[in-house]
Amino acid sequence: MPGFATRAIKAASRVPAAPQAPVNVPIYQTSTFEVGSALELAELLEFARPGHSYSRYSNPTHAALEDALAELEGAEACHVAASGMAAIHGVVLSFLRTGDDLVVPRAVYGGVIGLARSVLARAGITATPVDTTDPEAVGAAIGERTRLVWLETISNPTTAMADIAAIAELAHERGVAVAVDNTFASPFLCNPLALGADAVVHSTTKYVGGHSDLTGGAILGSSEVVNGAREIVINAGGNAAPLEAFLALRGLKTLALRMVRHSSNALAVGQALETAPGVSAVLYPGLASHPQHALAVRTLRDGMAGGMLALEVSGGRAAGERFLDLLRVAVHATSLGSVETLCSHPASSSHRQMSDDDLASAGLSPGMIRISIGLEDPDDLVADLANAAAGAAT
């Protein structure tokens, strides 16, 4: 008989066969999987046969999340990553090589700016900023070296919106691919692949997860596109964790319910704050005053515009920073898309890399506050945010 240590390891490693299917996808909290032969392992590592070999490559919990996201985005394939930035990195480098150019929005998530400056520039890849709310400007920015146009369904943090369908058409006419960060909208409000995008990314940390308790990302598109990005993610070590995938699956189950409430709360807050003391402007696609309101109505589900709004506080950078100190219901924190309302000052946080001139060219004032509206009672949010705006402006 084998010794105790041997028997303990073997006994504790048996996976029970359950005659009934579990209601929730199990967490396959394992780094590796047993294989039957060297050939089997080699084929698994090359994705040449179904199954799993090592959780940096794939895992059953990952696969369940990938299948669910692909269905909801209308994608042929999906790969989940450790973060939204890991997903963005994988997509961008799968399309671009040294000497290529990436067209990006002037108003874009600060992580993309950081990627362009710290990673792409070292690889000899340039980034050309453009006003993506103007398809003609995007067309003019596409040059001989352009291989990819990067868009955000709703821009971070200004909430500007690009006409994805129009830009995809003109980009494809020039042989250029289009990738869309759909994080602010979520799969519930918009499906960019149906509008002509070649790739979609999500930070599943945000609305997909919805509870500020996971970090993750996702890449969606054709099998060819996803496989190319997956190779980058795997070899750069940007793999998702099984627990994070499980939490994202849990979040997906309530995504529709949450997005309806996020949208209704944000609209109520936006309408109330438009005329509130200390507020210069409210930028929210659901408001008739928003420059791309008509596009939002046409693009997003049932006229809902999600939970992200930008607030211009009177008094500039100092007033924007004071605003955060006066919050009592909302939370001063980075990230977004969660059940609680989160506020941040982009000029000193997500977009701290940008000078005041760069901020101005992106339509992002030093006093702008990014607000991720949560699921609290709307009257409480209106009172809290209005009080902070009035106090910050004095």
CA distances from 239 to 102, 127, 142, 250, 315 (A): 25, 26, 32, 19, 43
Task: Round to whole Å and give the CA distance between 18 and 353.
Answer: 52
Q: Indicate the DSSP class of residue 116.
A: I
Cα dihedral sign for 288, 291, 294, 296?
Answer: negative
Q: Which of 181, 284, 322, 384 is catalytic?
A: 181
Residue 23 CA to chain centroid, in angstroms? 27
CA distances from 378 to 127, 261, 263, 268, 374 (A): 40, 10, 11, 7, 9
Q: Which of 106, 147, 206, 322 is catalytic?
A: 206
Decide if 198 contacts 177 (C-beta within 8 A).
yes
Concatenated DSSP letters for 118-150? Answer: IIIGGGT-EEEEE-TT-HHHHHHH--TTEEEEE
Q: Which of 109, 147, 370, 384 is catalytic?
A: 109
59 φ, ψ to 5°? -160, 145
**181 is annotated as an active-site residue:** yes
**384 is annotated as an active-site residue:** no
Strands 177-181 and 146-152: parallel
**10 is annotated as an active-site residue:** no
**109 is annotated as an active-site residue:** yes
Catalytic amino acids?
A: 56, 109, 181, 206
